[in-house]
Structure 1
């Protein structure tokens, strides 16, 4: 459960923004979207390899 302490006189929009930020950090929505569609382990592994190659290429270009 996410708790956002609101100080007296604090703007409700500011408190809502804090709540949204905390909620986003928990990763609930991201996990929900990931679970909505099944992806085969081989497809997940291939995507991880492609991403790793991309990141490695970015690091090599910076050096």
Structure 2
């Protein structure tokens, strides 16, 4: 659970912006999405390998 201390002189908009930044930095939403459904460890490994291959191919294209 994220806690944001709102100061007396701080506006709600500014506090909300700080909260959103904190959520983004802690990668909370990414974890929530991954925990929505169970993936077998073999599927997780396969997707990680595919992502690595994709990144490698994209990086090689940029080097040309």
Give TM-score scaled by structure 1 length.
0.76
Structure 2 unmatched runs, 5+ = none
2:25 is aligned with 1:18: no
Give TM-score scaled by structure 2 length.
0.75
The residue aligned with 1:56 is 56
CA-atom RMSD in angstroms: 1.8
The residue aligned with 2:4 is 3
2:35 alignment partner, SS class: helix
Aligned residues: 62
